[in-house]
Amino acid sequence: MNLNFSDMTLKIKFNELNHDEYIFYIDNHKKYKDFNTLGLYRSIIENDKLSLPEKIATRDYAHKSFKKSFDFLQLKDPKTFVDVSSLGINLTKADERKMWDDVIKNQQIILNDKRIKHRNFGTHSKHDCPYDDCIYKGLMVRPSSRLAWGSMHFDSDKSRYQQKAKSDRRKMDRKREQVIISDQIDN
Ligand SMILES: [Zn+2]
């Protein structure tokens, strides 16, 4: 899969790196003007070369340099934020609910931060679907996001989504979203 990195000064695909290579590029990230932290975190989820302990170690190592950018993902790409945060953890339904509630709270904190207000975060609107128990209810999302309720609920009913379609859906949406990834992060 082409993640667009190879066209730019960073001639690698994050999702094909092994753990040592991640460490190298994280250590040297300042040399690459197109280093994309959102792409980095997303790739940890997708990378087939990393074992689960390596994924966790890579994430923790990335946090040393990019924790602040990572926290912004709650607004920019909340699904990736939750997926990366919960690596290796078997979330109960209650855990998952709590995690999304925290994301929704933190989104407001980020949006209310005066310093942040002047930065371009694009247009967000609330995920507001007809399902009373929807885990994304109240979540701020971009209209183009795979978490916008239209793209999430229209073509698959909720139970199907919650069971098996997750990864397929993610792959499909990933393709569509590649176009906008590059301007989603501006640190
Ligand atoms: Zn919903």
Mean pLDDT, each 10-residue run in order, the chain (187 residues): 50 90 94 89 95 98 96 92 95 93 92 65 77 86 78 54 53 52 40
Tell whether 3 and 32 lie within a shared domain: yes
127 CA distance to ligand 1 middle (Å): 6
Could you give the number of structural domains in the chain?
Answer: 2
3 CA distance to ligand 1 middle (Å): 28
Kind and range of the H or E run holding 141: strand 140-141
Q: Find the domain containing 147 and state its range.
A: 122-178
The predicted pLDDT at position 115 comes to 61
Tell whether 149 and 109 lie within a shared domain: no
Tell whether 10 and 69 lie within a shared domain: yes
Asked if residue 107 belongs to a domain, the reply is: yes
Tell whether 63 and 154 lie within a shared domain: no
147 CA distance to ligand 1 middle (Å): 8
The CA-to-CA distance between both ends of the chain, in Å, stands at: 25
103 CA distance to ligand 1 middle (Å): 15
90 CA distance to ligand 1 middle (Å): 22
The predicted pLDDT at position 32 comes to 87
Report helix angle 78-85 to 52-76, nearest 10.
150
The predicted pLDDT at position 119 comes to 57
The predicted pLDDT at position 110 comes to 85
Please answer whether residues 5 and 11 qualify as being in contact, where contact means their C-beta atoms are separated by less than 8 angstroms.
Answer: yes
Tell whether 76 and 115 lie within a shared domain: yes
Report the distance separating Cα 14 and Cα 56, nearest Å.
Answer: 15
Tell whether 72 and 107 lie within a shared domain: yes
